[in-house]
Structure 1
Amino acid sequence: MKKSLMTAAASLLVVSLTACSTGKTGESSTNPAASGTPQASKAPKEMKLKIGLPGSYDVTKKEIIDGFIAKFPNIKTEIVEAPWGDFATKITTEIAGGTAPDIWFQENAVILGYGSRGVAEDLTPYIKKDLKEADYISGLYAAKASNGKVYGIPHGINPVALAYNKKMFTDAGVPLPTDNWTYQDMIDTAKKLTKDTNGDGKPDQYGFAASVGITQGWYPWARSQGGQVLDESKTKAMFTDPKSIAGIKAWADLVKTGISPDADFLKVAGGEWKAFASNKAAMFFMQYSNQALINKEFASLDYDTVMMPKGADGKRVVPIVTNSWVIFSKAKQDAKDAAWEFLKYYLSEEAQTVLAKSGASIPVQKNAITKLDANANPKNKKAFSEGIAQAGVTTDENPSWQEWRLAAQPIFVDILGQKLAPEEGMKQIQDKVQKVLDQNK
């Protein structure tokens, strides 16, 4: 989810949204047990719950929050709203002081860090008790740590697929992409779609727009030749694996050979998604959330998606991004119970269908996934949902993800910018990332 969705408010707004249920059941003047009269059921236990919403209702659908409040009048609910950056800053102090909301969400890697520090409640017992695993996709466990504990529940899944501009393909007489494409198929086709239309000797129409970021950029390319970024334990860097280097070389070669615009071109264009939407690039790796921007600003664009291409080893890798809900481990037990009631509602088909129809992210409840809007571009939403089912992976998130990613990112920028050879750059990244991993064991 994009932090550009932050609200403009500069301070937290705390809004009490419901009142507790007040009615009492009637009492019989006789002994119900002696007379055989069944006892009236007890009113639901009254509880309090504070929910933190970074980015406010620009990020979380108000309809879901309102639906929960309506169904659980016995839970007095407070909503704590703030712009994303403000929320992330304040929550650190609140955690230290024991005053954090009972439940809130942040980036999945941050949640894993909370788990390692004892801030996040282990949700494994709750899940085993109340959820039917078959009703959900594997993304439900995006916040599962290496110790087997689950520290968060997805706010929504934002996967990647290959987007293509139909008109550019048709005008060039080039067959459209398919789910069976490999990376090499994509590269070969991108060459055919790269053109110098004004005769100045430089491409002004590119076959592919390469991203310099992790999710749509270097991570899938590092995996494209069968390589890895971290090992399965997420404690050992794998950047100098020859297959990882080969994937990054193919990524850098997109710019080197002129198949993809460079960073300066993309900066002027407004980013790879705008270069794609303005007919300057025929393909790019598209996060699901990009559709909202493209459909709003380029409503007439005729485009669609297929699943991420298969790698040289025949395997597909579909990077997913998720923010995850976390229950504060220091909250009172009643508040934890109320927070779990909220998460059960959030994971219900009713709430997940609201998420599906929003177009902001993919739900994790299987029936809700069938409610994705197939009438809005890209119409082939299965490129995302089936991509997750087949090969959805996080970008090797672990408790130190933010730290090691930031250590690696500037070097990847230099590699794509042709300032550093892939072999040398990957060696530097290996050293920096392994140092971070070792410090966080």
Structure 2
Amino acid sequence: MKSRLALFLVTIMIFSLVLTGCASKDSSTDGGKDGVVTLKFMGWEASPLETESVKKGIQKFEQDHPNIKVEYTPVPGDQYASKLLTMMAGDAPPDVFFLGSADYRSFQKRGVLLDLTTYFENDLSIDDFIPSSAGIMQINGSVYGVSSCTVSPVLYYNKNIFDEAGVPYPPSDPSKAWTWEEFEEAANKLTKKEGDKVSQFGAYGFENFANTVMAVMENSGVIFNDDYSETKINSNETKKVLESILSLKKNGLSPEAKLLEESGMSASQMLQTGKIAMLVDGSWALQELSKMDFPVGVAALPKFEKAVTTGQAHVHSAAAKTKHPEEAWEFIRFLSSEEYQIDLISEGLWMPNRVSLYSEDGITRWFNESVHPDGFKELVPYFQDATVDPFAINEKIEVRDIMVEELDKFWYDGQPADSVLTSIEDRVNKELAK
């Protein structure tokens, strides 16, 4: 009798352990330890300042969502897309991740992004977002990534250099933007030479590909046709822009990119130290520039036919195979919220993607006098009304690579604009036809 009782008790204990093990396994898979879900989150590190800002946001999210823990991994920007693709191919992607707007449609075509449309429509409205952000997010009416913010090319300048030269500051108001001729004239006055050597350049940055594209659009040039099946970059409008930018270098008003590399300084440091007077760069550069010890100004870009800037920024997406779609959406929704954006906008890293933050009351919520220079409020409509960057809509990443490769032959190898543009047209259209 005792042996039967002992056997019965042992059987009960074993059965209890099995049930406990199953419960433990289910908890780990569905809810994590103590019901806490861990989301793996990956982004790029454009700068330590940006990474610090993102981590602050994660802390805020975790405080409000004690059931979700976020493990953030920043990756160098030049390795980011390839690393993300490798992780997806290895069936080990992060749950949530940054995705560059130029990569967004390419990734969506691969079927690796979670369709967020239902979540988005339940919690948000596309009308909450400015047109450029809304245009980037929607793919055939569906949403696979939610806009993080918006960023645009702008013109920065060192006020000390302008004051010393007696040159008026460039206008912040886009409706009063300098013409290209006025910009070139100012760059000439702000350039200093010691013999044959230039000690201070008037301007730098237009030959950066994104800024070149924006300038072409300012001259009423078109990069692609309406359905993005062909490039229209081979035009007189583009040729004029390329030759105008090149003339800055030929006349010694703008340095070669290699000069920055050899100096060991970033473009922002060149502006700070007086090596260049004006710099065309992304709006995100203000976070770093505002912390440097010099009076920085920011203005609308010089125009050819019309004052235009392009708008784009990364989206936040989730892996199609994430085990935690509900929690992933909760985090993505937070990353697009006014609450999260405002801190990063106030620090000069981003501009808002929400329509509400462009109202008079909305601007007061993020405007920071210690970061945003005098006249910055006049520039605000520039971001709100920005044209969508065409490479955020183009589906083929290879197209951008072709254009950059061919344009380098114009900037650095002395090949004429006509032959370079013809080569771009031929190569890109073949790629788009595949």
Q: Normalising to structure 2: TM-score of the pair?
A: 0.79
Match of 1:331 among 318, 322, 328: 322
The CA deviation string for residues 281-306 of structure 1, in whole angstroms up to 9 with x for no partner, is: 2212121222233344x41x222111
> Retained in 2: the 8 A contact 1:353–1:369?
no
CA RMSD of aligned residues (A): 2.9
Equivalent residue for 1:292?
Answer: 287
What 5-or-longer segments of structure 2 have no aligned partner?
Answer: 1-27
Q: Does residue 1:355 correspond to 2:350, yes or no? A: no
Deviation at 1:310, TM superposition (A): 3.2
User: Superposed, which structure 2 residues align to 1:244-393 within 5 Å?
Assistant: 244-269=238-263, 270-296=265-291, 298-299=292-293, 301-312=294-305, 314=306, 316-332=307-323, 335-365=324-354, 366-367=356-357, 370=364, 371-376=366-371, 378-382=373-377, 385-393=380-388
Match of 1:205 among 200, 205, 208: 200
SS of the equivalent of 1:289 reads helix
Change (3 A) 1:266 1:69: closer
Identity rate of aligned residues, in percent?
Answer: 23
Change (3 A) 1:215 1:369: farther
Deviation at 1:203, TM superposition (A): 3.7
Match of 1:237 among 231, 237, 251: 231
Equivalent residue for 1:188?
Answer: 185
Q: Does residue 1:222 correspond to 2:211, yes or no? A: no
What 5-or-longer segments of structure 1 have no aligned partner?
Answer: 1-15, 23-45
SS of the equivalent of 1:434 reads helix
**Aligned-partner Cα distance in 2 for 1:139–1:113:** 18
Equivalent residue for 1:9?
Answer: none
Q: Does residue 1:131 correspond to 2:124, yes or no? A: yes
The CA deviation string for residues 40-73 of structure 1, in whole angstroms up to 9 with x for no partner, is: xxxxxx6735232234785352222122222223
**Aligned-partner Cα distance in 2 for 1:400–1:135:** 25
**Code of the aligned partner of 1:161:** V
Equivalent residue for 2:10?
Answer: none
**Aligned-partner Cα distance in 2 for 1:396–1:86:** 19
Q: Does residue 1:107 correspond to 2:100, yes or no? A: yes
Deviation at 1:21, TM superposition (A): 10
Equivalent residue for 2:23?
Answer: none
Match of 2:159 among 149, 166, 183: 166
Which moved further from structure 2: 154-163 or 381-390? 381-390
> Retained in 2: the 8 A contact 1:252–1:422?
no
Change (3 A) 1:151 1:143: farther
Deviation at 1:399, TM superposition (A): 5.4
Deviation at 1:161, TM superposition (A): 1.0
Question: Across the two proteins, how many residue pairs are aligned to each other?
Answer: 389
Change (3 A) 1:396 1:205: same
Deviation at 1:238, TM superposition (A): 1.4
**Aligned-partner Cα distance in 2 for 1:331–1:343:** 13
Which has the greater radius of gyration? 2
The CA deviation string for residues 158-193 of structure 1, in whole angstroms up to 9 with x for no partner, is: 321111222222222222211312333222322332
Q: Normalising to structure 1: TM-score of the pair?
A: 0.78
**Code of the aligned partner of 2:391:** D
**Aligned-partner Cα distance in 1 for 2:424–2:239:** 11
Higher RCO, 1 or 2 (CA under 8 Å, sep at least 6)? 2
Change (3 A) 1:203 1:96: closer
> Retained in 2: the 8 A contact 1:166–1:302?
yes
Equivalent residue for 2:21?
Answer: none
> Retained in 2: the 8 A contact 1:159–1:392?
no
More helix by share: 2
Match of 1:417 among 412, 419, 434: 412
